[in-house]
Structure 1
């Protein structure tokens, strides 16, 4: 659980609204840490424990990306509406609306890490640091690695998944049971799942508009508009101090994340040995230590 918010509300984003939550004082001296959640189509809930950074003097901003959580839901909008640029524009709009565009740090998790990297390649003047947590640099590369992980599942599991994917019956109970085997190995290895993670998990399926359009029916069956998307070619343009984080058992394998290390100048990489895709929940104490050490090093 995170700390109680000091402010929350919504800001207009065109005809829509973006929900946000602030912990700590935004203009207290240190740059706020803006937390960009995964999905696409998830919510901020599973990252709430990062609000505890405010105890160490770092104000924290969480927000729900448009389409889910407390932000505008648009279930009638088709796949052509849900673009990477839409979410980049939303992030820029939020930074301006909160008055922090001149000085901030981005922490993006999973899809949020991809989005944060895409934001950073534009070299925004106010960006002071970047944390890319559990994010693939290229969806085509990631799909190759996901296929490897799937083949390593217990006998019969991947065959069940493939059968339902071929038949377009991924909404079946059998598919979801088989899907859970992958999730418990490579997404969150805690049992039971923490309440904050469960909240985000069910938010996706309460309104799967964005997730289905951009990702697909599961973490490892990416058939949405992101399936060919990559940020690799632009990574050398990132100029700010960058920390990469992955888990040893992560669905984002080392090969999936390697381009960040190879191409972002000076990027540091921390691997969490006891974690999969949620090291901030699976190893929270070490995650906080690593993150604070990096934040204190920022110019």
Structure 2
């Protein structure tokens, strides 16, 4: 079966927050009508998209609120953007599609942070399997790994980044060039970048509201709502079989993702060699 043979449907799910109705855009690859035989996989995005190699089973992808084709709320205060909000949105979408009693979950990057929180805090009875890909279990540990990699860049790269972030001179040409070097080594090593990844970055540039609220203004220091975030104390509550995916050159380093392996009871860990943050593009056949 080729991707052209797979039925594709899309739609909008109403999502009510504090009495206001927003919309979540979703797209379904495959057929959700036979859930007894083919359990759907719900993908939670981080930065790039999702690999089409999963499409022999129904796959549900969606743009989280504030992103892509879903509702944008540029005037929402920083405190609006919480992990609770995104867990509520996921739960709402599952119910909208009628799959809340039988689904698997895959989260990549920030999506893995959301997926691990949903699985360990909400403990949904309909979740059967969990995949956490290139994701950290802790904001501070993620930043520790980022800065360890920064120190390995040649020359005075680390000094350039830290001095400019301390001064707030984020448009400095040397700073921007150093970020580009880091991204081409630890986000995606392909040249040129895949169009799907380029498109995702373009969408991010159009509206950075969510990114700035959750992450902050700096690249190597969290200043947003995730700066103190850690799901480690809750990981033992994840009872479903879990697959942990990592890559040696990923910006998410072992210090940040190994707590998943150490604390989730039923977990298998696969490290994908020769890849960085987007192994779905760099090694799609693995």
Relative to the length of structure 2, the TM-score reads 0.93
2:143 match = 143
Q: Which residue of 2 aligns with 1:293?
A: none
Return the alpha-carbon distance in structure 2 between the equivalents of residues 245 and 255 of structure 1: 14
Counterpart of 2:191? 191
Paired position in structure 1 for 2:59: 60
The aligned residue for residue 110 of structure 1 is 109
2:68 alignment partner in structure 1 = 69
Aligned residues: 277
Unaligned segments of structure 1, at least 5 residues? 287-299
Q: How far apart, in 2, do the equivalents of 1:251 and 1:16 lie? A: 33
In structure 2, the partner of 1:269 is 269
CA contact (8 A) 1:249 1:275 kept: yes
Match of 1:100, SS? coil
Cα distance between partner residues in 2 of 1:273 and 1:71: 35
Deviations 1:48-75 (A, max 9, x none): 4x23422x2x100000000010000111
1:169 Cα offset (Å) = 2.3
TM-score w.r.t. length of structure 1 = 0.89
Measured after TM superposition, the shift of residue 2 of structure 1 is: 6.5
SS at match of 2:71: coil
The answer as to 2:12 corresponding to 1:10 is yes
Q: Following TM superposition, by how much is the alpha carbon of 1:220 offset from its aligned partner in structure 2, in angstroms?
A: 3.4
Q: Which stretches of structure 1, 4 residues or longer, exceed 3 Å deviation after superposition? A: 1-5, 171-174, 217-221
Q: Answer whether contact 1:21 1:62 (CA < 8 A) is retained.
A: yes
Please report the RMSD computed on the Cα atoms of aligned residues, expressed in angstroms: 1.6
d(CA) in 1 for partners of 2:44, 2:179: 25
1:47 and 2:46 aligned: no
CA contact (8 A) 2:243 2:268 kept: yes
What is the distance in 2 between the residues matched to 1:60 and 1:181?
34
CA displacement, residues 275-297 of structure 1 (integer Å, 9 cap, x when unaligned): 011111111000xxxxxxxxxxx
1:297 aligns to what?
none
Structure 2 runs not aligned, ≥5 long: none
Distance 1:2 1:207 in 2: 30
CA distance in 1, matches of 2:219, 2:125: 34
Aligned pairs for 1:147-166 (under 5 A) are 147-166=147-166
CA deviations on 1:242-265 (whole Å, 9 max, x unpaired) are: 000000111111121111001000
